[in-house]
Amino acid sequence: ELKVEQNPLFLSMQEGKNYTIYCNYSTTSDRLYWYRQDPGKSLESLFVLLSNGAVKQEGRLMASLDTKARLSTLHITAAVHDLSATYFCAGVPSGSARQLTFGSGTQLTVLP
Amino acid sequence: KAGVTQTPRYLIKTRGQQVTLSCSPISGHRSVSWYQQTPGQGLQFLFEYFSETQRNKGNFPGRFSGRQFSNSRSEMNVSTLELGDSALYLCASSLFSGAQGEQFFGPGTRLTVL
């Protein structure tokens, strides 16, 4: 059974600072997703990481995947207030259909 | 291109009642998955339908059921509602079944059970 752990669960950071959210998973995952959720809203897809060493960047966010370490990271560069949200990573157990297994989420607050 | 739509957006029911939620996937998508989100348990997979067939089911009691129609629209039903069923129910659509493609989520239906 795939288990996904994120840390930290809560993160307060100053605008302009850098930080990394970590996502560890327990068994082989066919792919790794990162989603963003604003309060009371649905999930917005940020990144899909398909293979070992994959790196994707969009604006101030960069995601990477190390399948050997079973680790994905979401790096935030020069944070701005608009990035305040909850970020989830999710894996797909090998051999399953569309079953996403989510981490607990990281609630990010960017302070002025 | 229209996104995933879910109706209703908000619902209030009482214990013991049943409820039906609806999801219309992105045009051309044939896979629909349902998830439950609660503060205590987080996001949990309910089931996935592809081409009108249930492909996967999560660890939920039989009170939770679903179906998919020939136009790929899906419904989920919860019978004999319990207080713990209060949650945000999210539907996601995807072009493919299997471990391919990306899931796109709808706005969710917030169910409150009193």
pLDDT tens-digit map of A4-16: 999 999 999 999 9
Contact check, Cβ <8 Å, B45/A48: no
> Number of A:B CB contacts under 8 A?
66
pLDDT at A94: 75
* pLDDT for position B80: 97
Q: Which of B28, B26, B9, B16 is nearest to B88 (CA)?
A: B9
What would the 3-class secondary structure string for B58-76 be? CCCCCCEEEEECCCCCEEE
CA dihedral B93, B99, A76, A71 (to 10 degrees): 150
Q: Check if the beta carbon of residue A110 is closer than 8 Å to that of residue A18.
A: no
Q: Answer yes or no: is pLDDT of B96 > 80.
A: no
In A4-63, the residues whose Cβ lies within 8 Å of chain B are 30-31, 33, 35, 41-45, 48
Mean pLDDT of chain B: 93
Confidence of residue B55 (pLDDT cuts 50, 70, 90): confident
- Nearest in space to B92 (alpha carbons), one of A1, A9, A92: A92
Q: CB B45 to CB A41 under 8 A?
A: no
What is the per-residue pLDDT for A97? 53
Q: How far is B82 from chain A (nearest CA, A)?
A: 22
Least confident piece of the model among A26-30, B14-18, B60-64: A26-30
| Residue of chain A with shortest Cα separation from B4 | A42
Q: How far is Cα A6 from Cα A22, in angstroms, rounded to an integer?
A: 6
Distance from C-alpha of B35 to C-alpha of B42, rounded to nearest angstrom: 10
DSSP designation for B84: G
- Contact between B105 and A43 using a beta-carbon 8 Å cutoff: yes
pLDDT at position A54 is 87
Given a cut of 60, is residue B25 above it in pLDDT? yes
Looking at residue B99, what is its pLDDT?
47
Least confident of A41-50, A80-89, A96-105, B81-90: A96-105
Determine contact: A98 vs chain B, CB below 8 A: yes
Mutate to test the interface with B, among A5, A35, A42, A48 (most CBs of B within 10 A): A42
Please give the average per-residue pLDDT across A103-107, as a whole number.
96
Higher pLDDT residue, A24 or A92?
A24
DSSP per-residue string spanning chain A? ---EEEE-SEEEEETT--EEEEEEESS-EEEEEEEEE-TT--EEEEEEE-STT-EEEETTEEEEEETTTTEEEEEE-S--GGG-EEEEEEEEETT-SS--EE---EEEEEE-
Find the residue in A nearest to B106 (Cα): A42
How confident is the model over A23-79, as pLDDT tens digits?
A: 999 887 778 999 999 988 889 999 999 878 889 999 999 999 998 999 999 999 999
Asked if A78 and A16 count as a contact pair (C-beta separation under 8 A), the reply is yes
CA-nearest residue of chain B to A106?
B42
Average pLDDT of the segment spanning B80-98:
90
* Predicted pLDDT of residue B45: 93
Contact between B43 and A88 using a beta-carbon 8 Å cutoff: yes
Mean pLDDT of A101-108: 95
Using alpha carbons only, give the angle B37, B38, B42 rounded to the nearest 5 degrees: 70
